[in-house]
Chains A and B, each alone.
Chain A
Amino acid sequence: MTCVLAATIPDAITFVIAAAICVLGALGVVLARNPVHSALMLVMTLFGVAVLFVEEDAQFLAAVQVIVYAGAIVVLFLFVIMLLGVDQKEAIQRDPLPAQRPVAICVGILGLVEVLLLARGRWPSGARSVSGAIGSPGDNVGLIGRSIFTTYLLAFEVTSALLVVAVVGAVVLARRPRRALGQNGAPTGEPGDSEPGDSEPGDSEPGGGGPVDSEPGDSEPGGGGPVDDLADLEVTGP
């Protein structure tokens, strides 16, 4: 193993284990039928990538990876999964494009082979950047901080603008439309007044959207099941 990887024993063992964790988690994300399992497998992959970051002297990024990705983004995914009640299994029987799956796998393998062939060449080209060397004095956080706040200061400021835009966009998207509320009159979608699955258009799947009804305080169309609001849904059945 060491001669293949050209590394010392601990480095090689760490890399092999972390790479196995990453690949297994990635396969789990793709292959798991339940979205919750996919999210947990994604956490596994993210931890593996964090370990590889530590291996490559990027300690700050490893910490940020665990905090931001595993701590915030995946939790956001799980929030949406639980809130929307979309944790039912995917109906794989009705596939409107039957040829898509093998074609997609073939395209993916082709891309992988192409990338691996390209990786055999000499990669580094062009001029070095001036933002500093990893081996220069100072710890990893200090180096990244100096790079961000001097060389990439404009990009950092634009990033802050991007975050503001994202927050505003999320609020606008999540806001309930006033018109729909006015059509309903009084909020009809009280959490307890409808059985799961009544007048749900997604009945072709087992439990399709049933848990949506138990979302606390939802009064939007589709939550409580007023039929006139769901009349234009036209979910494609089998």
Chain B
Amino acid sequence: MSVSASWYLTLAAVLFTIGAIGLLIRRNVLVMFMCVELMLNAANLTFVTFARRLNDIAGQTAVFFVLVVAAAEVVVGLGIIVSIYRRRPGATADDVHGMKG
């Protein structure tokens, strides 16, 4: 008998919280992006946990799509980061305030 779903969900919640806190307190744009990946992984863990608990393959299919969207997101996000760093080397998230309303 494997570990019950509650523990997996608890772990996913902890991972998501760490990612969210990191996204809020870090200034480096790349590290903030990695924290987003952490949060996506926590969501994936939840999907897989519920797929096993409900005995339904659709949860794993959702994780597959999340992976694809994460890959596309990383490509576009890193492109944006590269273009930001080209204009202002050493910029942090606070330096990029030109788009605030």
Interface, chain A (partner B; CB < 8 A): 5-8, 11-12, 15, 19, 22-23, 26-27, 29-30, 32, 35, 38-39, 42, 45-46, 49, 52-53, 55-58, 60-61, 64-65, 68-69, 72-73, 76-77, 80-81, 83-86, 88, 90-92, 95-97, 100-101, 104-105, 107-109, 111-112, 115-116, 119, 123-124, 128-129, 131-135, 140, 143-144, 147-148, 151-152, 155, 159, 162-163, 165-167, 169-170, 173-174, 200-202, 205, 208-209, 212, 220-223, 233, 235-236
| Residues on the B chain within 8 Å of A26, using CB | 14-15, 18-19, 22, 38
15 contacts between A and B (CB under 8 A): A22-B15, A64-B67, A69-B70, A73-B71, A86-B28, A95-B27, A104-B25, A112-B17, A119-B9, A147-B60, A170-B75, A200-B90, A209-B89, A222-B88, A236-B94
A69, B87: Cβ atoms closer than 8 Å: no
Could you tell me if A144 and B89 are in contact, using CB atoms closer than 8 angstroms?
A: no
Give every chain B residue within 8 A of A64 (Cβ-Cβ): 64, 67
B99 interface residue per 8 A CB criterion: no
Contact between A7 and B2, CB atoms less than 8 A apart: yes
CB distance A131 to B57 under 8 Å?
yes
Q: Report chain B residues within 8 Å CB of A7.
A: 1-4
How extensive is the interface on chain B, given as a class?
A: 35 or more
- Chain B residues within 8 Å of A223, by CB: 86
Please state if B41 and A49 are interface contacts (CB–CB under 8 Å).
Answer: yes
State which residues 20-68 of B face A: CB under 8 Å: 20-22, 24-28, 30-31, 33-35, 37-38, 41, 44-45, 48-58, 60-61, 63-65, 67-68
